Structure formats: structure tokens, C-alpha cells
Structure 1
Amino acid sequence: MPKFPTGGQAGSPERGADNAPEPGGGRGTQANGKHVTERKKQYLVAPRQQPMGAIGPLAMGMQPLGLQAVEQALRAIPDIEVVRTITPKSTIGVLGGGMGEPEGLLVARMTDDKAGALRQQGQGRLLVERDQHLHLFDPALPRPNRVASLIPYDGPSLEVTVVVRGKDGAPLPDAEVSLFGGLMPSIAVTDAGGLATLKVYGNSPHAISGLYVKPRADYWSFYQRDPDLSTGQPNLVALRALSDWPALPGFPGRSAVGWGERAMRLDQLPPSFRGQGVKVAVIDSGAATSHANLSRIRSGWDIIHNNPTTWTEDQLGHGSHCTGIIAGADPSFGIRGFVPDAEIHVCKLFPGGQISELIEALEYCIEHQIDVVNLSLGAMAPSEALEQQIVRAKRAGVAIIAAVGNSGGPVQYPAASPQVLSVAAIGKLDEFPRDSYHTETISPDVDAQGFFTAKFSCFGARVDVCAPGVAIVSAVPPNNFAAWDGTSMAAPHITGLAALMLAHHPEFQAQARVRSAERVERLFQLIRLSGRRLTLADPTRIGYGMPDALVALGLAVAPGQAAFQSMLAQLLAGAPRATSMGEAAYAGAPLGQRPLGPADLMSFGFAMGGMRPQGW
């Protein structure tokens, strides 16, 4: 057993301790208040599983650590608080790389310095990593990347009043109004009379570069570039109702199919294809079953509060929106989802979710034999502990679909994991009003059909497919609808398609019916093979393209695909895709004995953007 750190040395207090000396001789706590110092954070601690034949401490005769022994050691260390233990509820077997089934992990609170010392003393046998806070893929106020080169502003300012009206001139409360440009942005929310007052820093409103109005629900957003604003009288903004859009006549009183579902040809499937017998989990902010489109959902768990009932409370609306895309019921009201007859499980993780809770949510999915999981969330960095759980889930037959992120940068984790299917976002012209903020997502990459890659969508070699993610109308609490953008909206399109395939594709009613990692990989392969190239983008932005529901379900063959179908089916069957994580282990191996990568596909005439024969 390694000798773990027992506390700070004399004269060297722990960072973040309340009694740590302050610059200038001050103390952490004084009569007039407490100095701001580093707080203790949650960490994940577990004995590290090493593959058989590995070179390291275990190979040199050191015994592996047990979870119980690690817990006892941690509880004996000052300034470390063991919060809880997460243990697997079922045994799946040997993990990839020859590793045994993990015993579980500990969640403990400590400072960064203490965690660093613990990691060092573990000598490679102990996993010690931050229990990262997760975030939903929605735009947030960015952190400054440097110390600003301006002193705090105390100069002149002006007030701009914006009045937001809806249908028949009715005032719209709770609309978010933002002004961009000038010295700094300004944000306000409309009151009961639809009125918002914003402060413009400077002596002229002419520096304002944009006015953005985001309604709470039931209306399209509004955006005016270089707005002509008055400071002497209210500025009126009239929003368009969703029901006024030609593609949504009489909405929501009449049931509709979203543009994304039409683009993927869901509306051309047989009426009996409704996802019967498949279990889908949405790990998100909950789902409001008060909504008529979501009222059929009966199963879920509030992971944050360990509560079997509060998962139906969705303060953010994000989870309800994603769930509606996947499984919105289709009475004569609202939007129909991909699999209205599937068994939906809702795991509430927001607000406040961390890696440890996501691990617990995936354990719920393993225990309840979930078939497909939707993850429209991300972490700041990869997690070894979460990756281990994702591998367990895949081995249990759980297919994880993940959004790539909305930062416009590299694919975020867990979409970057080689064990999941990652989804980027695309949009389509003429599927939203030209004066809505959705226009700001349009990239220069627009094809003849009007499809474009969304500016916000993350990109990279880890992108598998793309799906509609701009101006997606779906359910929000309590019984309303909203048109939102994001890879968060794109991923549920693929989750719904995957559920349809497991329920109705002939292959998954035969030899691929058994739950396993091979079934998951085959599902992913068929989804990729159904992709068709859109836009002029390179593969790092659209992957294999946008999946076609008819092709994915074996009801049609994509143009030009027949020549490759038989060969590729044999080539891809059971072969995991190549990844940057662990590729070196397969270097030089024959094609049938290593993961299949993009270069292999290209050598067989299959491009990452989908099948691209001459004339497509």
C-alpha cells in the first residue's frame, strides 16, 4: 500500500485552507470577512485497472489496490472528505484491453495540491481526477482570455428601452433582449408589459452592432444587425409566432413534422415504424411530462437528488426539447418525434451535473438495459473514469449518441470518445424567418439544396455524422414550443433514428438482436453508411454526411451505394473504427485485425462525406 499524504508540512499550509496566510501577512479569516481562497473540489479516486501484459508498477511485482483499502486510506487523511462510493450494479466482464471489471470509484473532496500529492503517491496505480462540472451545449458568457487593457468604465451611458410584442400586439414578458457592440454588451429581460431597459455604455447608440430578442417560447427570435435605436422613445420589436410560419400551419393545434425529420425522410417511413420495444434514455435536465407531447413518459430518475419523481421538473427546458425531438407523441397537437412508441427513460443531470453523476446515470442505463442514450452535454476535458464507464455501457449493448459541441472548435468530450457516435449540426435555408437570429448560424458553405454547416458546430476527425440542428422546433415547459439551435438539437435526430433501426431494421431482428458491443458498433456503421453528402464542407464538419432514414432502415439504397454495399458490409462488420486513442497498438496489423480508419475507407472508394460517385 503506498504511503498517501497525511497533511501539509509545518509552515506550508494547504492552498485553499481557511487559515492559509495571505499576501502581506493577512489571514484567511478576519473580523471583517473571509479572504477568497481556493475551495476544495470533488475528485474521482479509484484503483486503476491495467491491461494484462502492461509494463508498469503491476508488472514489477506491486499488488493492485483494492477499492476498500483505498477508501480506508483516504478516510484517515486529514482534509480529505469521502463523499460517496459509486459501484457497478452488474458485472459485464473483461473490458477492452484485457482489463478486469472495475470495483467502482470514490468521490472525495480535497484541494488541488492534496490531489496532486495523492496522484504522485499512487505511483500509477491510482486514478485521481477532477469531478468536472458538465455543461449543456448552449451558448454561455465566455470567460475573458486575458486581463483587459482598459480601466473599469465610469464614463457616460445611455438607456435604451425595447418593447417586445407578440401576436395581435400583446406584450411578451420574459423575453431576453441583448445589445451587442459598443464598449460592452448589455442584457435585460422584458417585464409583464413586454418592456426591457438596457444601458448603452458610451454617448451614442450608433456603436451598437446588433439587437437580439429571444422569446421564452412559441415565437421566432429576432435579430437586427446595426439597429437604428432611439434613446428618446421606446423601440418596438414585433415577434412572429411559430404558427405563422408556412411549414407550421395551425401549429400547435395541428400536429406537424419538423423540417429536420423531413430532411432525413422520416415522413416517408411506413406508419407502423414507431420504435416499439426499444428503450431510449435522455440524460439531460429532465423532461416536463406536463407537456402534451411528453405525457406518455413514465420512467426516469433525478440523479442529482437521488429522487425517483423530480425528473419531471425541467427548469431549463433543454431536456424537454431534446426528448420531444426523439419521442414527442403525435396527438393532434405539436411536433411528432422519431419514436413515439419507444420506452423513454429520463435521467435528470442538470443543473449542477458532474462527471460522477453522469457515471451514475450510465449505470442506470446499464441496469435498465437501455438501448440508446442521448448525450447533449460535454466536459471541459476527457475523463478516464467516464471513459471506463462508457466502455462498460457499450459492452452491455448501450449505444451512446453524443453532440459534438457548440463552441465552433474541436469536438468536445464525450463526443470525442471512440466509443460513441458523434453528431455535428447543419441547417437549411428557408426553414426560418430571415429576421430571426438563426440567420447568424449560416456559414458560407451552402449547397444547391440550401443545406449549410452551422457556424457554431464543433468539427474535427471525430465527427461521425451531421444532422439538423438549426431552428429546430420542439417541446418546452410547461406546454409550449420553441425553435432552438445547437448540436444538442442535432444529436436527438440521430438518437431517434438509431432507436427506429433497433426496432425495425431486419438485421436487428435476427443475428444482431443480442445486446453487445458488436451490436452497437454495427448500428453505428449502418448509420454512417446511410449518410449522404451535404454542402461543400470537408469531412471534419459533416463526417459521413446526414443519415437517410429510408437507407438506414434498409428500405432504400442510396444513389451509387449498391456497388460498394456488399464489400463494405463485410469489411465493416464487427470492426471498430480507428481512433487516435490506442491506434499505435495496431500499427502494422493486417486490415482484419485492427480498427478500420478513414484511410482504409478512402482506399476502397468510400469518402468520409458519404458515398460520392460521379454526378452526385
Structure 2
Amino acid sequence: MPKTPDSGPGGPLDVNPDGAENGASERRGPNRAPAEARAAAPEARAAAPAASPATPESGTAAAGGKQIGERKKQFLIAPRHPEGLAPLGLSPLSLSTVEQALRNSPDIDVVDTVGPKNVVGALANGMGGSQGILVARMTEQKAGVLHQQGQGRLLVERDQHLGLMDASHLQPSFVTSVTPSSGPALTAVIKVVSKDGAPVANAEVSLFGSMLPATAATDASGQVTLSLFGETASSVRSLYVKPKSDYWSFYQRDPDISPDEPNVVTLRALADWPSLAGFPQQKTVGWGQKAMRMDQLPATYRGQGIKIAVIDSGIATTHEELRRVHNGFDIVNKKTSPDTWNDDTLGHGSHCAGVIGGAELAYGIRGFAPDAELHACKLFPGGQVSQLIDALEYCIEHQIDVVNLSLGGAEVSEALEQQIQRARRAGIACIVAAGNSGGPVQYPASSPNVLAVAAIGKLDEFPPDSYHAQTLTQNVDAGGYFTASFSCYGPQVAVCGPGVAIASSVPPNNYAAWDGTSMAAPHITGLAALVLAHHPEFQTVFQARNADRVERLFQLIRMSARRVSLADPSRVGLGLPDAVLAVGLQQQTVPANLGAMLPGQQGYGIPLPQPFALPGMFAMPPGFAYRPW
């Protein structure tokens, strides 16, 4: 039996479950602790944080106000898994012991518990060591003491804030050491109108100079006044206008700005570009769906029976394409208003949901899997790792098949990784946006337990004066495909997806064309739902919900991919997946060097199942007609 560092063999917290020591209180001396307390003492000493050194200056009045000191931050705290401690000769701590020790500390606030809600949930996927994760507020110093006293048996990490993976416009470099707030300034009035001269309200307008930018939204008359201190009309570097919906964005490098009269920007409606002609009044197929050959699938391939969770900013059911969404959970406000998952103030989750499973109407854009069951897990604004863990627990409890994660954080989280592993073992496939920093793949896309998706664009799918043109790179192939300049790269990238000028649904009942790996990931999520619903293997040998099912799904998606753009695999993975191949309507050819194509990439080198064929496996359904890419 493993030993604790404090004493002899470690045992369960309750050493007397049968009540054998009834009446022991009469036999104890005045200073003798109860047997249960003595048994728990080593664990409590390991978990209990020492008192922080006093800081008398913090919080005291100074010059008529409060002296600024370090504020409490949110941390994730959990006993480490037994399998990791056994080789070290250590016994695991119990969650209840850790929680009691934290609650006994006056400067630690336990605010929540996330992860498995009961023993059944912890054992359901083969990870019996999962006891749940405590969320507590404390200072960095206190967390450091707690980590040290845990002696390797306690996970202590910051509850990081997460970000959505939409591509923000690039800001020209500016001098951070010189920030003028007075003196000469350029003041300009920008007026944003449509082609017929109607004002466009709530459009975000940004002017960039050599220093700090100026940004504001247009009023009801379509006007906004911006001031750039320390700038002149000749030093303005760029003008960017991002409408809330229904129009293309506008970007002008070195704009001719007049300080003496309104500067008018005329926006194009989305329909004023050939690829979206007649949109949204006429039903349209997005360029990304065409590129992946979704439009060549039989009409009956609609993702029936598959559950998809969109962990994002919610799904606005005010949109006609999203009104059939009836399931969700507001994780951010779970204690006050858990049913407000359909209040999407950012529009990001609704945009992703439209790509994945927007309803097929006589107008607008149909999603990949309109008959799949969508679940909205609202995590933004304000999402943190603890809430993402809670969202994945919702997915485990509701037996979700595919999760779309168009989000990311800066650092790897051990607590989150454990939850992702639990989800994978429960048969849940996590499709994750690679990130938009233009640097290495961000976490959780860098996890070996998910499918990471980079972003590509295509020429002629957006106006040249829109900001989408700024995402263009030099590696354009003969088909016009290019890697997006913002897309993260690395060996973790499995495939790429359409992520530039993607038109989809936004609240309340509108459409917008956005960029980002956030837009690329939903294309692959929608495809994953179609594969699970319609590929014969998932009705037979891979029907059981487990990690093998997830890995086979990822393999089929990767094997269906074709190379796009002239970029190396770190930018696009194996390429752009093909829907017709992925669902099994055409037999895939497995590259002989699949395991060596991308060293270090998740999933590669794992043996594929032996080839087999089922009756009708490659038969073409009625109405199916093959067309080349």
C-alpha cells in the first residue's frame, strides 16, 4: 500500500465506517482527537495552506483612498489522479479533505466545484480517480504556499480566462512609450452609409495612426467622430469599418482623411458580391461548403440522430435558422439564470451554430447538419477554464457526440486536459480552432486528444476593399485557396477549414461575413456530425461510445483531406476534408506514409482498423451524382 510522506500506510478518510468506536469519546483523554480526525490529519496537513505573511499596508487608507494591493484570483484545485502518484509511493488526497482545509482558511474563498458530480459520473468513462475540481479565490502567494504543501499530490493552477477565436483586425504598430493626451490632434467625422445612402448604425469604425488607435461605433445617423492625438491627416495609416451585420467590412490603407468635412464610407451589402448574389432572400450554399463538397451529398444526409454542443457565447433562437434549438445551459450564470443560453450578446456562438446546423429554409444558408440536435453551452462573455470544464461535464451527462470549441487560452491546463480525456473516453469528439494569433497552435487545440483546425480562404469570395483581403498570404494555389494570415500553425494542426469571409447567422435575425479559425472549426464539426450519422462504420463496429470511436472519426476526416494552398503541413495539416469521401460514399485511399507525414501530430501512427466492406458500403444512394472538385 502506498505510504504518505507524513506517516505509515495511507487509508480511506473514514477509518471506522461500521461505527466500531461507539463510545470512544468516553475513553479519550481531554486532549485526544477523534479517530476520524487523527486519520485525516496527514491529508489535512498536506492540503491546509499556511497563513500568508501580513501585509499591513494593503487595504489601508492612503491619501483618502484604498491602497492598491494584489487582488484575489481564481484557482483550480484538485487531488491528482492515483495512477500518477502510485509510482512515487504517495497516496492520493480526498476532495472532501482538501475542501475542508480550504474552507478553514480565512483568506481563501471556495466558490464552486466542477467536474464529475457523483461517483457514477467519475467511473462512467474509466477515470475513477476523478473526484471533481474545486474553484477557489486566493492570492498568488497563497496559491504558491498551497501548491508547495500539497507535495505533488495537489493540482493548483490559475483559472485562466478564455478567448473566442475570431480574427480581430490587425493594428498597425504604435509607440507605447509616447501616448499623447493633449496638444495637436486630428479630429475626423466618419459617415457610414449603404449604397442607397441610408445610414448604417452600430458599425465599428477604427482609425489607426502611428500611436494609439481611435475606435467608436456609429450612431443612428451613421456618423462617428474620432480623435487621434499627435496625428495629422498625412500620418493616418488605415481606416477600418466593421458593420454589425448584412454588409461587407471596409478597409483602406493610407486613407485620404479630411478634418474639415464628413468622410463618407459606402458599404456593400452582402448580396452585392457575385458569390452571395441574391443573399439572403435566395437560398445560398457557402463557398466553404462547396469547397468541401457538402452540396454534392444526397439530400437525406442531414446529421439525424447526432448531438452537437456549441460551447461559445450562446445561440440566438430569435434567428429563423436557429429556432429549432431547444437545449442549452448558461454556464456563466448557472447559479442565477441557467436558461439564458439563447441570449447571444456577441453573436459568435450563433454564427458558429449556423455553419454547423442552420435550418434549411427557402432562403439563407443551410448548415452542414440541419437535422442534428444542437446544444448551446454559453461560456462568453467572461469564460474561464473552470466553466469550460463544467460545459464538458454537461456534454458527458447529455451524451453529446461532437463538441465545437472555437475558443482558446494562453497556457496548457492540467485540469482541463483531464476533462477533455474524460470526454474522449465517453465517445465525445472535440473539434477545436487552432487560434488566430498567427503564432503556434494555442491550447486546447494543441491537446493530443482533440482535432485542431486551421483556417484557409479563397480568392474572389470577398470584395478587394473589405478587410477579408488583408488575410491573404502568398501561398495561393491554382484553385485560389490560401492559408489565412492570422491562422496559427504547428504539428498539432490536423486539417484546415474555410475561415475567411464566412457568411452565417447572427442575432437577432441577420447575417454577417466573418473571419477566424472560429469559423473554420464549425465546418469540420458539421462534417463530423455527418460522418457519425451516415458512415456505415458508426452504425456497426464503431457504434459504442468510447475513445476508439473518436479516433476513427478523426482518422476518416483526416484521410478525406486534400491538399490546398502552397503552404506546408504545419499550416494546413493534411488539407481540406472532403464530405463525399468522409461519409463513405467513395472509398478512401490511405497514404502509405500517413503516420510519417506529420511527425508529432495527434493521432498519427495509430494503426487503422483492418479493411472491411459492408453490404452497400460504397453504393450510391438514389439521386447521388458524382462531380469532381
TM range (shorter): 0.7 to 0.9
| Residue number in structure 1 paired with 2:502 | 472
CA offset digits 1:358-394 (Å, max 9, x no partner): 1010000000000000000111211000000000000
Q: Find 1:258's aligned residue among 263, 286, 299.
A: 286
* 1:584 equivalent in structure 2: none
Q: Is the contact between residue 278 and residue 503 of structure 1 (CA under 8 Å) also seen in structure 2?
A: yes
Q: State the 1:257 CA deviation.
A: 1.1
Q: How does 1:264-303 map to 2 (within 5 A)?
A: 264-303=292-331
- Alignment-derived partner of residue 7 in structure 1: 51
Relative to structure 1, the CA distance from residue 154 to residue 308 in structure 2 (aligned partners, 3 Å threshold; closer, same or farther) is: closer
Q: 2:525 aligns with which of 495, 519, 539?
A: 495
Quote the residue 1:426 is aligned against: 456
Name the structure 2 match of 1:368: 398
2:416 is equivalent to residue 386 of structure 1: yes
Q: Which amino acid aligns with 1:47?
A: P
Displacement after TM superposition at 1:40 (Å):
0.3
Q: Which residue of 1 aligns with 2:617?
A: none
Match of 2:442 among 412, 419, 426: 412
- Distance in 1 between the 2:134 and 2:206 partners? 43
Equivalent residue for 1:46, pick from 75, 78, 88:
78
Distance 1:148 1:458 in 2: 26
- Other structure's SS at 1:220 match: coil
Determine if the alignment matches structure 1 residue 64 to structure 2 residue 92: yes
> What SS is found at the alignment partner of 1:44?
strand
Cα deviations by residue, 1:103-157 (Å, 9 ceiling, x for unpaired): 1111111000000000000000000111111111135699999994336453301
Secondary structure of the corresponding residue to residue 416 of structure 2: helix
Conserved 8 A contact 1:174-1:192: yes
Deviation at 1:271, TM superposition (A): 0.4
Q: Which stretch has the larger CA shift, 34-43 or 417-426?
A: 34-43
How many angstroms does 1:101 deviate by? 3.1
| Structure 1 unaligned regions, length at least 5 | 14-18, 22-26, 582-594, 602-615
Q: Percent identity?
A: 60
Once the two structures are superposed, what CA deviation does each residue of 1:375-426 show, in whole Å capped at 9, x if it has no partner?
0011121100000000000000000000011010110111010000000000
Partner residue, 1:233: 261
**More deviation in 398-407 or 236-245?**
236-245
Q: Structure 1 residue 80: deviation in Å?
A: 0.6
Q: 1:458 corresponds to which residue? A: 488
For residue 324 of structure 1, what is the aligned residue in structure 2? 354
1:205 aligns with 2:233: yes
The equivalent residue for 2:572 is 542
Aligned residue for 2:381? 351
Q: Looking at CA atoms only, which structure, 1 or 2, has the larger radius of gyration? A: 2
The verdict on how the C-alpha distance between 1:203 and 1:578 changes in structure 2, with shifts beyond 3 A counting, is closer
Q: Does 1:36 align with 2:68?
A: yes
Among 190, 197, 201, the residue aligned to 1:169: 197
Match of 2:36 in 1: none
Other-structure match for 1:107:
135
Give the corresponding residue for 2:24: none
Q: Greater CA deviation, 267-276 or 191-200?
A: 191-200
Matched AA of 2:461: E
Deviations 1:515-568 (A, max 9, x none): 11000000001100011001110111000100011111111246xx3xx46x68
* Residue 190 of structure 1, CA deviation: 0.8
Kept after mapping to 2: 8 A contact 1:92/1:396:
no
Task: Name the TM-score, length of structure 2 as normaliser.
Answer: 0.85
Cα distance, 1:37 vs structure 2: 2.0
Distance in 2 of aligned mates of 1:293 and 1:321? 11
CA RMSD of aligned residues (A): 2.6
1:242, distance to aligned residue in structure 2 (A): 0.6
Please tell me whether the aligned partners of residues 248 and 466 of structure 2 are also in contact (alpha carbons under 8 angstroms). yes
Q: 1:445 to 1:79 in 2, by over 3 A?
A: same
Residue aligning to 1:604: none
> Does the Cα contact within 8 Å between 2:385 and 2:416 map onto a contact in 1?
yes
Matched residue type, 1:412: Q
Alpha-carbon distance in structure 2 between the residues aligned to 1:247 and 1:420: 33
| 1:169 CA drift (Å) | 0.9
Structure 2 equivalent of residue 158 of structure 1: 186
For 2:72, the aligned partner's letter is K
TM-score by length of 1: 0.86
Aligned to 1:342: 372
The amino acid across from 2:392 in the alignment is L
Q: Would the alpha carbon gap of residues 117 and 144 (structure 1) be closer, same or farther in structure 2, given more than 3 Å must change?
A: farther
TM-aligned CA deviation for residue 340 of structure 1: 0.3
In structure 1, what is the equivalent of residue 511 of structure 2? 481
